[in-house]
């Protein structure tokens, strides 16, 4: 009897659990259906509000062009509209706005998977992880090539073996692939990261992949043939120092802009010159020196290929990519500085008018 009671008790327990699971599933399905029905009018309102912001901004520009609206009033209205747009795109209502389409890069690695987070705290975690990843790779960007250069003189007599260099190139490929994926995910989730930095990392990823096929031999003329590799490692060390400075100063600047309502919490610092006042005097010379040095390494690789020192196609390809990235970085840096100068001039003009009044 005791055994039959135990069996019956277990059967009743299983039946009760099964009924509870069915009941919970019905409640969850009902909740999802109700939420979906309530979301539809919110999506329509969000789209209508977004359209209204664009229409009002266009009207302000038209009135300003026709000299009907006072410039100071137009500037105040434009700031309020920008804050409204930040509230809409930075708050919970942003999940009801249409997201950016996923690029081919994400689809190539992940397939047709939607990587857009509907909850803002998840989006912020994605951005914080991206910033933490940049901090980690900046330190490694400095230490990895420094270690190779030290070993080159102390252990390898000025001629590096192939495996450590290829290991470094494989790490660069992993690094830039991770950056590219994170930046694409950030763009899908509403970040304002510039397209050039993503394309720049695509170029760096391609260069690292091609460098893995570059045969490095140790021989009598090894030091001369590895001159380009040595310069590239020195440039990478300088890049690591610049990345550490940028990550520290630019994050402080972004937090300030978010607090003032001039940026969104999903925005990221623009890669070359978003530092605070005074710090640009330190960052800009370093960045321009880096870009010039990058172009110099590219031209050096091209020269070694054309004079016959190292005639592999990988040398020509990597040299062209380095020159292309240096030119693109320089152009983007200048554009960012010009944009910042225009904004500062506009702010100074506004303050001068307020003081005159």
**pLDDT tens track for 231-243:** 778 878 877 777 7
Q: What is the dihedral of CA 253, 255, 257, 258, to 10 degrees?
A: 160
Label residues 76-100 b or e (16+ Cβ within 10 Å = b): ebeeebeebbbebbbeebbbbeebe
- When comparing pLDDT for 277 and 10, which is higher? 10
**Strand ranges inside the chain, DSSP E:** none
96 and 116 assigned to the same domain = no
Share of the chain above pLDDT 70, in %: 78
211 and 246 assigned to the same domain = yes
Residue 169 lies in a domain: yes
Model confidence at 174, in pLDDT bands (50, 70, 90)? very high
Q: Please give the average per-residue pLDDT across 218-226, as a whole number.
A: 67
> For the segment 185-217, what is each residue's pLDDT rounded down to a tens digit?
888 877 777 888 889 889 989 988 988 887 766
- When comparing pLDDT for 114 and 277, which is higher? 114
Q: How many domains does the chain have?
A: 2
47 and 79 assigned to the same domain = yes
| Contacts of 313 by beta carbon, 8 Å cutoff, 6+ apart | none
> For the segment 130-158, what is each residue's pLDDT rounded down to a tens digit?
888 888 888 888 888 889 888 888 888 77
What pLDDT sits at residue 265?
Answer: 47
33 and 135 assigned to the same domain = no
254 and 234 assigned to the same domain = yes
| Residue finishing a domain among 73, 100, 127 | 100
What pLDDT sits at residue 343?
Answer: 61
Share of the chain above pLDDT 90, in %: 5
89 and 124 assigned to the same domain = no
135 and 82 assigned to the same domain = no
Task: Please state the pTM of the whole predicted model.
Answer: 0.72
Residue 87 lies in a domain: yes
Residue 353: pLDDT over 70 = no
142 and 90 assigned to the same domain = no
250 and 278 assigned to the same domain = yes
Residue with the two structure tokens 């397939």: 111
Average pLDDT of every residue of the chain:
77
5 and 60 assigned to the same domain = yes
What pLDDT sits at residue 272?
Answer: 38
Range of the domain at 4: 1-100
What pLDDT sits at residue 112?
Answer: 80
| Contacts of 306 by beta carbon, 8 Å cutoff, 6+ apart | none
Residue 159: pLDDT over 60 = yes
| Residue finishing a domain among 100, 128, 145 | 100
Residue 259: pLDDT over 60 = no
Cα–Cα distances (Å) from 134 to 247, 248, 289, in that order, read 7, 10, 21
DSSP per residue, 26-94:
HHHHHHHHHHHHHHHHHHHHHHHHHHHHHHHHHHHHHHHHTT-S-HHHHHHHHHHHHHHHHHHHHSGGG
Residue 327: pLDDT over 90 = yes
Residue 105 lies in a domain: no
95 and 128 assigned to the same domain = no
> For the segment 74-112, what is each residue's pLDDT rounded down to a tens digit?
778 888 887 888 777 766 677 677 767 777 888 888 888
- Of 255, 295, 249, nearest to 272 by C-alpha is 249
Residue 280: pLDDT over 50 = yes
Whether 96 contacts 43, CB under 8 Å: yes
81 and 30 assigned to the same domain = yes
- When comparing pLDDT for 61 and 349, which is higher? 61
Residue 357 lies in a domain: no
| Residue finishing a domain among 100, 133, 162 | 100
Residue 287 lies in a domain: yes
């Amino acid at each position: 009897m005791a055994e039959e009671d135990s069996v019956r008790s277990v059967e009743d327990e299983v039946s009760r659990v099964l009924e509870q699971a069915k009941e919970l599933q019905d409640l969850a399905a009902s909740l999802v259906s109700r939420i979906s029905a309530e979301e539809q009018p919110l999506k329509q309102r969000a789209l209508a509000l977004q359209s209204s912001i664009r229409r009002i901004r266009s009207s302000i520009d038209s009135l300003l062009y026709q000299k009907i609206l006072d410039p100071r009033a137009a500037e105040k209205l434009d700031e309020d509209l920008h804050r409204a747009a930040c509230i809409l795109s930075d708050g919970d209502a942003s999940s009801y706005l249409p997201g950016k389409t996923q690029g081919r890069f994400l689809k190539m690695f992940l397939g047709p998977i939607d990587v857009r987070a509907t909850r803002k705290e998840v989006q912020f975690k994605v951005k914080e992880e991206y910033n933490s990843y940049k901090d980690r790779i900046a330190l490694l960007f400095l230490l990895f090539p420094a270690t190779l250069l030290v070993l080159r003189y102390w252990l390898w007599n000025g001629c590096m073996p192939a495996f450590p260099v290829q290991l470094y190139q494989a790490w660069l490929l992993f690094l830039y692939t991770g950056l590219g994926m994170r930046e694409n995910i950030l763009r899908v989730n509403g970040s304002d990261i510039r397209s050039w930095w993503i394309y720049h990392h695509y170029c760096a990823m391609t260069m690292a992949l091609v460098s893995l096929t570059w045969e490095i031999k140790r021989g009598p003329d090894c030091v001369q043939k590895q001159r380009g590799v040595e310069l590239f490692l020195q440039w990478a060390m300088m890049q690591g120092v610049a990345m550490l400075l940028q990550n520290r100063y630019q994050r402080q600047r972004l937090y300030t802009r978010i607090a003032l309502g001039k940026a969104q919490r999903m925005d990221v610092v623009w890669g070359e010159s978003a530092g605070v006042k005074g710090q640009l005097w330190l960052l800009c010379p370093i960045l321009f020196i880096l870009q010039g040095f990058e172009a110099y390494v590219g031209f050096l690789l091209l020269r070694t290929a054309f004079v016959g020192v190292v005639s592999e196609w990988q040398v020509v390809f990597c040299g062209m990519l380095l020159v292309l990235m240096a030119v693109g970085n320089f152009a983007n840096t200048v554009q960012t500085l010009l944009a910042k100068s225009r904004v500062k001039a506009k702010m100074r003009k506004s303050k001068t008018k307020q003081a005159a009044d």
